[in-house]
Amino acid sequence: PSANFSLEELDKLSLFHPVTSIADVQKNGPLIYAKAGGVRMRDHHGRDLIDLGAGLWCVNVGYGRPEIADAAAAAMRNLSYYHTFGGASNEATICLADRILSLLRERAGAGHLARVFFGSSGSDANDSAYKLIRYYNNLLGRPQKKKVISRLGGYHGVTYASGSLTGISAYHTAFDMPIEGVLHTACPHYYRFGEDGESEAAFSDRIVADLAAMIEREGPETIAAFIAEPVMGTGGVLLPPADYFAKVQALLDKHDILLIADEVITGFGRTGQWFGSGAYGLKPDIITMAKGITSAYFPVSATAVSQRVWRVLEEASPRMGAVMHGFTYSGHPVGSAVAMANLDIVERDDLVAKTAENGPYMLRQLQARLAENPYIGDVRGVGLMIGVEFVADRGSRRAFSAGLGPHRLVARHALERGVLTRALPFIDVNSFSPPLSITRAEIDEGVDRYVTALADAMPALHTLAS
């Protein structure tokens, strides 16, 4: 109960701040979170929910960590804000930049990354990358080299640049997206897009050949960058086929095209390694990060750029003037203090190594418990990033008809059974990405609840499939 409103009033008044899924609220009634600790959340009616999504893949250290709250309070008392212009900085943010670069160097072999630009969301980190690349090529005297290639199913945000990079059409409709100069190439999801009889290696060769053909068609002199999540998250928890990135990287190197790794989800441990770039052997010129920097205790994003890119910006800046890009909240001292406290926990509690053990455990549990279900075609994952893909027919891998949403139905039942999972917007997948601090007992409990919810949903799934 709140000091201002009764429970009933809160239910009614939840429409006061309309969210994008207003139709959900109208259909299902309000869901008002009141409290959270560890992997569990409570709604305002006191219902216990296990969060197998860590919010939107972000609350890596779990909810309610007092160390982080204390760090935020101390930072607010000491220096609640600073001037972001005129080259100014603050100590917490300097420490955070150094720490991120050190982690990239030591944990992902990315010692070539030299500088960090800060922001406050994954979308703005990708917008920053998009603009810095323009700036870089302009300074090199080749302003026509400005197109960026992304992938169908990729998710990079919702602002005009990052939303255009996103390769999911639902985010484009009504907005005249993608903007000019953003191109989308094939989605590397063998299970759904591999052709009958095609091996995974042949599939990978085919989609890389498609990319090569796109580059030739457009003219390599017009292509500035290729952006990719090491593991696609919102697209459906899609792991790259073996050698896919090595082949892509060779192609990019040949044409002097920069690689941007979007590590907004994979950064800071989610795959069981510190960075997806390290896990999959990428050598990005730019890495964008957000969620895991602070475990979502404060909105902070980062765009790390390589020495190669930085050298051009640095040398030319005195001639060209400032990069006219930056946000009011870039390098926020409170956000940086929160990030430092969060990363302390990740290191102290050894959460990345734990993820490398508990992730495969959770995957095995789900695979075993869902093996007999006729509507689940694939259960896959890496670290604590797991996807359950629904099909109308397992033998043929036929998907449910567009718009039926078997995965939305199951996620709804899961909520009723007290477990939070996401229904993703590109293909019919429920995703699981719990806090990295989750214990095996909590994994078992969450999986039990999900399996029960799936049983609840079976009659409706039969109807959808028929």
Q: Does 123 bind ligand PMP (CB under 6 A)?
A: yes
Calculate the CA dihedral of residues 457, 238, 216, 256 and round it to 10 degrees.
150
Interface with ligand PMP (CB under 6 A), residue from 51, 127, 262, 285: 262
Residue bearing tokens 């455990």: 361
Toward ligand PMP, which CB reaches closer, 55 or 272? Answer: 55
The binder of ligand PMP chosen from 90, 93, 121, 128 (CB under 6 A): 121
Rounded distance between C-alpha atoms, residue 154 and residue 158, angstroms: 12
Q: Which residues of 83-101 are buried (b: 16+ CB within 10 A; e: fewer)?
A: ebeeeeebebbeebbebbb
Contact string (CB under 6 A) for ligand PMP, positions 282-311, x = contact:
--------x---------------------
The contact mask relative to ligand PMP for 124-153 (x = CB under 6 A, - = no) is --x---------------------------
Contacts of 464 (CB under 8 A, 6+ apart): 392, 400, 404, 406, 409
* Nearest distance from C-beta of residue 400 to ligand PMP, angstroms: 24
Residue 290 or 392: the one with the smaller Cβ distance to ligand PMP is 290
Distance CA 79, CA 95 (A): 15
Q: Interface with ligand PMP by CB under 6 A: which range of 120-128, 311-319, 361-369, 388-396? A: 120-128
Strand stretches in 300-459, DSSP E: 301-306, 376-382, 385-390, 419-420, 422-423, 429-432
Residue 461 CB, shortest distance to ligand PMP, in Å, is 27
Phi, psi (rounded to 5 degrees) for 13: -85, -5
The helix/strand/coil state of 117 is strand
- Give the long-range contacts of residues 29-37, CB within 8 A, separation 24 or more: 31/415, 36/63, 36/64, 37/62, 37/63, 37/64
Q: What contacts 221, CB < 8 A, 6 or more positions away? A: 142, 144, 145
Q: Which is nearer to ligand PMP, 288 or 365 (CB)?
A: 288
Q: CB atoms < 10 A from the CB of 40, how many?
A: 20
Interatomic CA distance for residues 331 and 340, integer angstroms: 13
From 128, 137, 185, 234, residue interacting with ligand PMP (rule: CB under 6 A): 234
Q: Which of 72, 265, 286, 309 binds ligand PMP (CB under 6 A)?
A: 265
In the complex, least distance from residue 252 CB atom to ligand PMP, rounded to whole angstroms: 19
* Total residues in contact with ligand PMP, by rule CB under 6 A: 15
Q: Which is nearer to ligand PMP, 383 or 418 (CB)?
A: 383
Kindly tell me which of 137 and 234 has the beta carbon lying closer to ligand PMP.
234
Rounded Cα–Cα distance for residues 227 and 210 (Å): 16
- From candidates 167, 194, 233, 276, binder to ligand PMP by CB under 6 A: 233
Q: Which range of residues in 13-21, 155-163, 206-214, 333-341 is near ligand PMP by CB under 6 A?
A: 155-163
* Residue nearest to ligand PMP as judged by C-beta position: 122
Residue ranges that bind ligand PMP, judged by CB under 6 A: 56, 121-123, 126, 155-157, 229, 233-234, 262, 264-265, 290
